[in-house]
């Protein structure tokens, strides 16, 4: 069986500036991507059907080939679908209409007329979608503020708490930027994943801070101890979420696929942020900040 | 060491086993099976309840159409008078579109406009024109109207024979109210047809009147929804009448109905022949069945019924049949008459609808089970690769799985409907659960062998601080989702939080005990 060992990093070879540079550059780039998206589209990330309103149909199409099935789908509907996605190489297609102009009742009738078997229909009205968007933003904001308050209450020291909160912030911002770059839309599933990240990603930061601040022993020894556990944790979750993202994507289960994808991005970002950004801030605090 | 002391020492493990046994009972024991019929029990070997996403069905979530004026000064007018006065100021609205409610023991009340084109401006203008003072006008309807609408929707769904359907109101954090309708095993279009119409049915006489030397046809409302005593189910009917609904009129209204039919000429001598469809400007008087403003059917009166009305006999036994032309319309009319009209209609264009076929539900069930199993296998693989000692890794995987079993047992016990979002929650629980077990294992095994209980206990406590802190952040982060009605994600949040709680309170401490038993030399 393959062995999985957490390598020991020799942090003494790098200055705090060097360590923090990489995550800070990535964070800045991510913020720029999000800011650019906001400036051009008015939204930090492309909102999906849950927030804009629209209709998603899942239909079984009886056609000899994928191309012919797509042709039949194009012919069947009066409105032009925003996306047509094949599910798991079978005869089932997920068809998305992102405007509420195409009324779900009409789409249903058109699909039935074309002889498709309707597997599911989901429709969200535009006004309901914009309410949901406001609620989702509020939810993420409240969750983040609650987490930050809790972290300050747990450590009761400024710099280490800020280190955790900044890492967590970056853990959320990087996946959102990646969503922009990869064209992944914001759905309820991705919002859930972002909230999940707030909870998940601080685990390894708390572990690291606890090990360095509350335990005896030399800084590098404590860091390595926390890192061995923390990396194992994150890699385990990351592997599980990657499997979930891939398999759910093949089966066309959007909710699970988007939760999986965002968590993979976020946990990968967390590895970088915890062991470069958080470590450098902690080291500065331990060797210079306390002395002041 | 005596047996009792062993139990006392390992009470955390005992608690875990107890919880697992309890969950298994909830999951599989037929005594807890709420699905009473045997066929359903056979299809579903566990007591788990599946939500619409996994079993198929339709869900509609929509607000009600309407605007409300608060603090309207009624003076000494009755609510019916207020309704008529306000409706008179609104073109295209009748008194069914205006609902006045008096606040108990005061001269003020609310007036709601529930017509399709209701706006705050229209209601305000109508109140001003009718001379009523009011405090504010807002969007939305009153709680009483909402409750009545839900009750009518329930009886409509029951009258249509859609079993297992539920209707309830949900409130969002921004104080908006939605009606949530869930009907298992039905297509979207069927459910929408039933709930989307207000279902006001009235019976009118269509007849000629001469006023100011001009003759024209008018509708005179003879029977409204409240006048019916009994309404039968839709009948196929034989030759002659065809599909119809048998009805009877309340004795108190019978005289009036009889008089109106005679006055309008519908109950003419020798009955009437109706040709409303072919020649509406030259027909004999007709009976019209009008549903939501549309004429469903038109028919004449047969000679014997007309005769008994003329002879003043019909009112003694006031029943007749409503001819509808098609069986489907007979069903719709029957459902509407029996369930009553919706006080306010659903605004489907401001809500969401979701419909999943039973076959797709089965696929989702199977696929999500596979995804869950693969996620567990992945976790197990990584854990075994990291800790080559099976006595550390194996209990880790078993403990993480037992969290899911306990959660499933809990879901079966409270009959929480499982949806994809709950499954996502289970997978998240496995993820966080293993994370914490890794913390415990690493902490306990750090710096050499664990050879005494004291060393073990102290290390375990240190590990637990981190676990508690991590659990608290997860709960804080997920709680907005559990409370905000963000659609389908409530289940995800609730089960993630529950999983964290079960983990911290039961399974993770038990893992500590198991590890101690396997690692320490006594």
Nearest CB neighbour to B386, from listed A4, A122, A139: A4
For residue A140, the chain B residues in CB contact (below 8 A) are 480
B297 and B234 both lie in a single domain: yes
What chain B residue is nearest to A267 in terms of C-alpha separation? Answer: B431
> Euclidean distance between the first and final Cα of chain B, in Å?
11
For residue B174, the chain A residues in CB contact (below 8 A) are 131, 134-135
pLDDT at A90 over 80: no
B231: phi then psi, degrees, rounded to nearest 5: -130, 125
> How far off is chain A from B296, nearest CA to CA, in Å?
22
Q: Any idea which residue has 């869930």 for tokens?
A: B182
User: Is residue B57 assigned to a domain?
Assistant: no
Which of A124, A152, A169 terminates a domain? The answer is A124
In the structure, what pLDDT confidence band is assigned to residue B38 with cuts at 50, 70 and 90? Answer: very low
B298 and B395 both lie in a single domain: no
Which of A83, A105, A124 terminates a domain? The answer is A124
A61 and A38 both lie in a single domain: no
Model confidence pLDDT, tens digit, residues A128-164: 888 888 888 888 899 999 999 999 998 888 888 999 9
Contact across the interface for B188 and A199, Cβ inside 8 Å = no
User: Is residue A237 assigned to a domain?
Assistant: yes
What part of B 462-521 touches A (C-beta under 8 Å)? 462, 465-466, 469-470, 472-481, 484-489, 492-493, 496
Which of B91, B112, B140 terminates a domain? The answer is B140
| CA separation for the pair B15, B7 (Å, rounded) | 10
In the structure, what pLDDT confidence band is assigned to residue A274 with cuts at 50, 70 and 90? Answer: very high
- Which of these, A53, A286, A246, lies nearest to A157 by C-alpha position? A286
The contacts of residue B52 (CB under 8 Å, 6+ apart) are B58, B59, B182, B184, B354, B356, B361, B417, B419
For residue A251, the chain B residues in CB contact (below 8 A) are 363, 367, 370-371
Alpha helices (runs of H) in chain A, residue ranges in sequence order? 16-41, 49-52, 66-76, 104-113, 126-155, 158-182, 188-213, 219-251, 254-272, 279-284
Distances (CA, A) of B14 to A205, B11, B20: 33, 5, 10
Q: What does the block give as tokens for B115?
A: 């017509």
Cβ burial B137-176 (10 Å sphere, 16+ → b, else e)? beebbbeebbebbbebbbebbebbebeebebeeeebeeee
For residue B488, the chain A residues in CB contact (below 8 A) are 188, 255
Mean pLDDT of chain B: 83
* pLDDT the model gives residue A150: 93
For residue B393, the chain A residues in CB contact (below 8 A) are none
Per mean pLDDT, which range of A97-106, A227-236, B241-250, B412-421 is the poorest?
Answer: A97-106
pLDDT at A270 over 90: yes
B243 and B317 both lie in a single domain: yes
Helices (H) and strands (E) in chain B, counts: 17, 15
In the structure, what pLDDT confidence band is assigned to residue B42 with cuts at 50, 70 and 90? Answer: very low
| CATH number for position B438 | 1.20.1640.10
- Which of these, A243, A287, A204, A288, lies nearest to A6 by C-alpha position? A204
User: Is residue A292 assigned to a domain?
Assistant: no
A204 and A279 both lie in a single domain: yes
Residue B193 forms contact with A (CB below 8 Å): no
User: Is residue A4 assigned to a domain?
Assistant: no
Contact B344/B157 with Cβ under 8 angstroms?
A: no
The contacts of residue B468 (CB under 8 Å, 6+ apart) are B504
Contact across the interface for A240 and B352, Cβ inside 8 Å = no
Residue B424 forms contact with A (CB below 8 Å): yes
Domains in chain B, number:
3
Model confidence pLDDT, tens digit, residues A221-248: 889 888 988 999 899 989 989 999 999 9
A interface test, pick of B172, B486, B490, B496 with most A CB neighbours within 10 Å:
B486
What chain B residue is nearest to A103 in terms of C-alpha separation? Answer: B349
Per mean pLDDT, which range of A79-93, A221-235, A248-262, B449-463 is the poorest?
Answer: B449-463
For residue A198, the chain B residues in CB contact (below 8 A) are 473, 477
- Which of these, A172, A225, A222, lies nearest to A199 by C-alpha position? A172
Nearest CB neighbour to B477, from listed A146, A188, A239: A146
Contact across the interface for A135 and B174, Cβ inside 8 Å = yes
Q: Which residue has the higher pLDDT, A169 or B388?
A: A169
- Which of these, B306, B262, B115, B143, lies nearest to B200 by C-alpha position? B115
Per mean pLDDT, which range of B46-60, B92-106, B112-126, B341-355 is the poorest?
Answer: B92-106
A237 and A259 both lie in a single domain: yes
Per mean pLDDT, which range of B70-84, B293-307, B508-522 is the poorest?
Answer: B508-522
Nearest CB neighbour to B477, from listed A58, A198, A239: A198
- Which of these, A54, A53, A60, lies nearest to A112 by C-alpha position? A60
Domain that holds residue B112: 67-140
Contact across the interface for B352 and A124, Cβ inside 8 Å = yes
What percentage of chain A reaches a pLDDT higher than 90? Answer: 28
Q: Any idea which residue has 């913020």 for tokens?
A: A31
> How far off is chain B from A255, nearest CA to CA, in Å?
7
Nearest CB neighbour to B367, from listed A142, A146, A253: A253
Model confidence pLDDT, tens digit, residues B164-200: 888 988 877 677 888 989 888 888 888 888 888 777 7
Mean pLDDT throughout A12-24? 87
For residue A125, the chain B residues in CB contact (below 8 A) are 348-352
Read off the DSSP letter of residue A13.
G
Mean pLDDT of chain A: 87
Beta-sheet pairing, B244-249 with B228-231: antiparallel
In the structure, what pLDDT confidence band is assigned to residue B480 with cuts at 50, 70 and 90? Answer: confident
Nearest CB neighbour to B428, from listed A108, A196, A235: A196
A58 and A37 both lie in a single domain: no
A193 and A159 both lie in a single domain: yes
For residue B368, the chain A residues in CB contact (below 8 A) are 253, 256
Contact B500/B435 with Cβ under 8 angstroms?
A: no
Contact across the interface for A151 and B473, Cβ inside 8 Å = yes
Mean pLDDT throughout A257-265? 91
For residue B430, the chain A residues in CB contact (below 8 A) are 240
Q: Which residue has the higher pLDDT, B497 or B30?
A: B497
SS3 call for A12: helix
Contact across the interface for B421 and A255, Cβ inside 8 Å = yes
* pLDDT the model gives residue A2: 63
pLDDT at B353 over 60: yes
B310 and B361 both lie in a single domain: no
In the structure, what pLDDT confidence band is assigned to residue B522 with cuts at 50, 70 and 90? Answer: very low
Contact across the interface for A104 and B188, Cβ inside 8 Å = yes
| CA separation for the pair A144, B492 (Å, rounded) | 18
In the structure, what pLDDT confidence band is assigned to residue B309 with cuts at 50, 70 and 90? Answer: confident
A103 and A226 both lie in a single domain: no
What part of B 334-373 touches A (C-beta under 8 Å)? 348-357, 359-360, 363-364, 367-368, 370-371
A146 and A226 both lie in a single domain: yes
User: Is residue B185 assigned to a domain?
Assistant: no
Give the count of beta carbons closer than 10 Å to the beta carbon of residue B126.
22
* pLDDT the model gives residue B451: 64
SS3 call for B303: helix
Q: What does the block give as tokens for B314?
A: 């019909």
pLDDT at A182 over 70: yes
Contact across the interface for A206 and B355, Cβ inside 8 Å = no
Model confidence pLDDT, tens digit, residues A42-73: 888 888 888 888 888 888 888 888 888 888 88
For residue A135, the chain B residues in CB contact (below 8 A) are 172-174, 484-486
* pLDDT the model gives residue A170: 94
* pLDDT the model gives residue B487: 63
| CA separation for the pair B196, B185 (Å, rounded) | 18
Contact across the interface for A189 and B487, Cβ inside 8 Å = no
For residue A124, the chain B residues in CB contact (below 8 A) are 352
| CATH number for position A100 | 3.30.70.100
Nearest CB neighbour to A243, from listed B172, B350, B378: B378
A215 and A77 both lie in a single domain: no
| CA separation for the pair B95, B86 (Å, rounded) | 8
A24 and A92 both lie in a single domain: no
Contact across the interface for B488 and A255, Cβ inside 8 Å = yes
Contact across the interface for B424 and A256, Cβ inside 8 Å = yes
What chain B residue is nearest to A130 in terms of C-alpha separation? Answer: B350
Q: What does the block give as tokens for B133?
A: 């003072």
- Number of inter-chain CB pairs under 8 A, A vs B: 235
What chain A residue is nearest to B479 in terms of C-alpha separation? Answer: A143
Domain that holds residue A108: 54-124
Per mean pLDDT, which range of B10-24, B62-76, B481-495 is the poorest?
Answer: B481-495
- Which of these, B184, B78, B69, B82, lies nearest to B134 by C-alpha position? B69
- Which of these, A68, A113, A76, A69, lies nearest to A97 by C-alpha position? A76
B126 and B21 both lie in a single domain: no
pLDDT at B20 over 60: yes
A36 and A81 both lie in a single domain: no
Contact across the interface for B359 and A119, Cβ inside 8 Å = yes
Domains in chain A, number:
2
SS3 call for B246: strand
For residue B431, the chain A residues in CB contact (below 8 A) are 200, 236-237, 240-241
A183 alpha-carbon distance from chain centroid: 13
* pLDDT the model gives residue A292: 54
Nearest CB neighbour to A135, from listed B388, B477, B484: B484
The full length of chain A comes to: 292
> Euclidean distance between the first and final Cα of chain A, in Å?
50
> How far off is chain B from A119, nearest CA to CA, in Å?
5
Contact across the interface for A121 and B354, Cβ inside 8 Å = yes
Alpha helices (runs of H) in B415-452, residue ranges in sequence order? 420-445
| CATH number for position B122 | 3.30.70
Which of A105, A124, A143 terminates a domain? The answer is A124
Cβ burial B238-250 (10 Å sphere, 16+ → b, else e)? eeeebbbbbbebe
Dihedral sign computed on CA atoms, order B3, B4, B7, B9:
negative
A35 and A91 both lie in a single domain: no
User: Is residue B191 assigned to a domain?
Assistant: no
SS3 call for A84: strand
The contacts of residue B215 (CB under 8 Å, 6+ apart) are B208, B209
Model confidence pLDDT, tens digit, residues B398-436: 888 898 899 999 998 888 888 888 888 888 888 888 888
Contact across the interface for B496 and A196, Cβ inside 8 Å = yes
| CA separation for the pair A258, A276 (Å, rounded) | 27
Give the count of beta carbons closer than 10 Å to the beta carbon of residue B28.
15
Contact across the interface for A3 and B385, Cβ inside 8 Å = yes
Mean pLDDT throughout A205-209? 90
Contact across the interface for A229 and B484, Cβ inside 8 Å = no
Q: What does the block give as tokens for B360?
A: 């797709």
């Amino acid at each position: 069986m393959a062995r999985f060992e957490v390598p020991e990093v020799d942090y003494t070879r790098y200055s705090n500036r060097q360590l923090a540079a990489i995550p800070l550059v990535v964070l800045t780039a991510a913020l720029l991507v999000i800011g650019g998206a906001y400036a051009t589209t008015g939204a930090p990330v492309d909102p999906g059907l849950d927030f804009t309103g629209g209709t998603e149909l899942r239909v079984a199409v009886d056609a000899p080939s994928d191309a012919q099935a797509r042709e039949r789908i194009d012919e069947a509907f009066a409105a032009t679908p925003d996306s047509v996605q094949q599910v798991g190489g079978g005869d089932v297609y997920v068809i998305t209409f992102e405007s509420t102009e195409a009324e779900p009742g009409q789409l249903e009738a058109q699909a039935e007329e074309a002889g498709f078997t309707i597997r599911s229909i989901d429709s969200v009205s535009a006004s309901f979608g914009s309410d949901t968007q406001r609620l989702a933003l509020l939810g993420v904001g409240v969750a983040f503020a609650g987490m930050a308050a809790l972290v300050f209450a747990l450590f009761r020291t400024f710099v280490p708490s800020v280190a955790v909160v900044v890492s967590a912030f970056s853990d959320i911002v990087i996946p959102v930027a990646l969503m922009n770059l990869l064209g992944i839309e914001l759905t309820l599933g991705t919002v859930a994943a972002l909230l999940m990240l707030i909870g998940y990603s601080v685990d390894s930061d708390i572990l690291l801070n606890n090990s360095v601040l509350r335990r005896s022993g030399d800084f590098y020894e404590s860091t390595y101890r926390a890192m061995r556990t923390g990396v194992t944790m994150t890699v385990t979750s990351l592997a599980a979420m990657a499997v979930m993202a891939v398999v759910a994507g093949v089966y066309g289960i959007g909710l699970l696929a988007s939760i999986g994808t965002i968590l993979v991005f976020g946990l990968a970002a967390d590895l970088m942020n915890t062991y470069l950004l958080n470590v450098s801030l902690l080291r500065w605090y331990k060797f210079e900040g306390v002395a002041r | 060491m005596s047996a009792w002391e062993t139990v006392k020492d390992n009470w955390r493990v005992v608690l875990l086993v107890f919880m697992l046994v309890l969950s298994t009972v909830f999951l599989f024991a037929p005594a807890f099976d709420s699905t009473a019929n045997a066929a359903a029990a056979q299809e579903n070997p566990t007591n788990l309840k599946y939500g619409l996403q996994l079993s198929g069905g339709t869900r509609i979530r929509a607000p009600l159409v309407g605007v409300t004026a608060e603090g309207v000064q009624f003076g000494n007018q009755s609510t019916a008078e207020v309704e008529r006065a306000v409706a008179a100021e609104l073109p295209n609205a009748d008194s069914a579109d205006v609902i006045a409610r008096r606040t108990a023991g005061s001269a003020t009340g609310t007036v709601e406009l529930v017509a399709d084109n209701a706006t705050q401006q229209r209601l305000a203008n109508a109140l001003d024109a009718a001379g009523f003072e009011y405090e504010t006008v807002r969007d939305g309807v009153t709680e009483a109207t909402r409750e009545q609408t839900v009750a009518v929707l329930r009886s409509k769904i029951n009258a249509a024979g859609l079993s297992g359907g539920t209707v309830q109101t949900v409130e969002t954090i921004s104080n908006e109210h939605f009606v949530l309708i869930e009907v298992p095993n039905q297509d979207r279009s069927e459910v929408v047809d039933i709930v989307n119409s207000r279902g006001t049915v009235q019976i009118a006489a269509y007849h000629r009147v001469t006023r100011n030397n001009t003759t024209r046809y008018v509708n005179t409302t003879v029977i409204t929804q409240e006048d019916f005593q009994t309404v039968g189910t839709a009948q196929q009917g034989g030759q002659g009448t065809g599909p119809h609904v048998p009805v009877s009129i309340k004795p108190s209204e019978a005289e009036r109905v009889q008089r109106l039919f005679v006055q309008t000429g519908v109950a003419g001598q020798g009955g009437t022949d109706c040709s409303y469809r072919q020649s509406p400007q030259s027909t004999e008087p007709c009976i019209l069945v009008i549903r939501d403003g549309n004429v469903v059917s038109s028919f004449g009166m047969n000679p014997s019924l007309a005769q008994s009305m003329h002879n003043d006999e019909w009112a003694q036994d006031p029943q007749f049949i409503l001819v509808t032309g098609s069986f489907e319309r007979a069903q719709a009319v029957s459902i509407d008459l029996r369930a009553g009209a919706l006080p306010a209609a659903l605004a489907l264009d401001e809500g969401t609808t979701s419909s999943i076929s039973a076959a797709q539900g089965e696929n989702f069930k199977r696929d999500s089970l596979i995804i869950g199993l693969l996620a567990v296998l992945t976790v197990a693989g990584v854990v075994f690769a990291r800790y080559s000692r099976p006595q550390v890794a194996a209990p880790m995987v078993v403990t993480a799985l037992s969290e899911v079993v306990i959660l499933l047992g809990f879901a079966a016990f409270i009959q929480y409907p499982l949806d994809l979002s709950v499954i996502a929650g289970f997978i998240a629980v496995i993820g966080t659960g293993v994370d914490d077990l890794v913390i415990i294992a690493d902490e306990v095994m750090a710096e050499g062998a664990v050879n005494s209980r004291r060393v073990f206990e102290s290390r375990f406590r240190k590990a637990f601080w981190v676990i508690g802190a991590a659990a608290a952040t997860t709960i804080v982060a997920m709680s907005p989702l559990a409370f905000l009605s963000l659609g389908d994600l409530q289940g995800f949040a609730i089960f993630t939080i529950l999983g964290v709680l079960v983990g911290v309170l039961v399974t993770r401490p038990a893992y500590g005990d198991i590890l101690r038993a396997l690692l320490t030399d006594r």
